[in-house]
Every structure is written in structure tokens, then in C-alpha cells.
Amino acid sequence: MGAVTIFYFQSNLLKQLFRVPESTDEKIMHRVKDGHLSELSVLFQRYHVKLYNFFLRLTFDPVVSEDLTQNLFYRVIRYRHTFDASAGDFRSWIYRIARNMHLDHCRQQRLSPRPLRQDEETQQLTAGQHEGYAEDEFEKLDRALGLLEPGEREIIVLSRYQGLKYEEIARLHDLSVAAVKVRMHRAIRQLRKLYFKQQ
């Protein structure tokens, strides 16, 4: 009898032929909730840059934003039992946690916002978002954003920078969609005023 050789291989062609649909955030979070904590790495890969940028636009501090992002994922592990997909999607849930963490941070530090420092790491993370515009226009926009009231800044960051829909923002703030639209309109109008006031 001859020896049998078994070959184990993976190729891009095989992966394409037998493509397994990507799990939704909610399915992954349910596995995390059930104790499969290693699954959180997938959600980390999907969300850590977005959440870092969310915190950065609110705190204007890359170091604090990095700490808040890391602590956010510790909090996800700690409060994983509170996730309920029937009450909303994972993205809304994690941004609610992020929003609460930012509010806690502000209360603890009693910080006032300061203009964003464009260090090398920050520029790399936000690269590609500013193509076709002069750098000074974005500096003016960052300064204007920093002058907004925290609530106005947050709603603009959630909608325009993080891509959340008005329905998701409404759930985060326990408001109606119409109220979110009104707040967004007022915040954009104030941002425009502050932007054009600059020399």
C-alpha cells in the first residue's frame, strides 16, 4: 500500500470560490457577550481608527484620544452583557459608550477644548480625508470646530466625520430625528459663522 499525502493549502482562488460572508458586528458582539473575548479583535480592527478620530475631534489631543480609544475597548469587555441588538445596532451601542466616556473625561479633567495639533501620526490617520483642499482651510475648520459648544461639536463629528445617520444620533441622544436635524442645522450654521470670522 502506498502512502497517502494530504495537502493543506489556502489560495485566493479557493477563498473566492468558497467565500464565507463576513459576520455582522452584532453577531460578533453576541459571541463576545457569550465569552468568546478573542472575537473582539475583529471589532477592534473595524472601529479603532474611527473611534480614535471621534475622540480626536472632540478632545483635540492625540494622546488622550489614544487612551480613550483603548479604554473604550476595555469598557466593551466589562459591559458586554448590556449589548442588546434589539435595542439598536452595535455601532450605535459603541458610540453611546464612546460618548459617555468623553463626557466622563471632560467632567474629570474640566478641560476646555484647544485647537488640534497636527502631529505626524494624526496626519497619517486622517490622510485621504482632505484631498483637494488647502491645509490652511482645514486648520481654520479645526479651529472653528474647537470653538463650538461641546454638544454642537459632537453632533457634527458624529454625522459628518463618523458617518452616523440621524436615526443613530437620535438614539444616542434620546431625541427625535427631527430634533437632531434642527440641532445639526444650528450647529452647521454656527460652525460656518466661526469659520468665516477667521482671517
Q: pLDDT 10s per residue in the chain (199 long)?
A: 455 444 444 555 555 555 556 789 999 999 999 999 999 999 999 999 999 999 999 888 899 999 999 999 999 999 999 998 888 789 999 999 999 999 888 888 775 444 444 444 444 444 444 455 567 777 888 888 888 888 899 999 998 888 889 998 998 888 899 999 999 999 999 998 988 887 6
Cα–Cα distance measured from residue 115 to residue 47, given in angstroms and rounded to the nearest whole number: 24
Within-domain flag for 123: no
Q: For residue 29, what pLDDT is reported?
A: 92
Q: For residue 87, what pLDDT is reported?
A: 80
Within-domain flag for 171: yes
Residue 149: phi, psi to the nearest 5?
A: -60, 145
Within-domain flag for 17: no
Same domain? For 100 and 171 the reply is no
Q: Across the chain, how many H-helices and E-strands are there? A: 10, 0
Q: For residue 59, what pLDDT is reported?
A: 87
Cα–Cα distance measured from residue 3 to residue 88, given in angstroms and rounded to the nearest whole number: 56
Same domain? For 33 and 106 the reply is yes
Cα–Cα distance measured from residue 93 to residue 102, given in angstroms and rounded to the nearest whole number: 14
Q: For residue 126, what pLDDT is reported?
A: 45
Q: In the chain, what is the straight-line distance between the N-terminal and C-terminal CA atoms, in Å?
A: 87
Q: Structural domain of residue 174, as residue ranges?
A: 134-199
Same domain? For 33 and 97 the reply is yes
- Cell numbers at 31, concatenated: 459571541
Within-domain flag for 144: yes
Within-domain flag for 29: yes
Q: For residue 112, what pLDDT is reported?
A: 47
Within-domain flag for 9: no
Domain boundary among 61, 78, 113: 113
Same domain? For 100 and 49 the reply is yes
The number of distinct structural domains making up the chain is 2
Type of residue at 136? D
Within-domain flag for 138: yes
For residue 167, give the CATH number of its domain. 1.10.10.10
Q: Under DSSP, is residue 114 helix (H, G, I), strand (E, B) or coil?
A: coil
Going by C-beta distance under 8 Å and a sequence separation of 6 or more, which residues neighbour residue 113? 58, 59, 60, 146, 147, 150, 153
Cα–Cα distance measured from residue 187 to residue 152, given in angstroms and rounded to the nearest whole number: 5
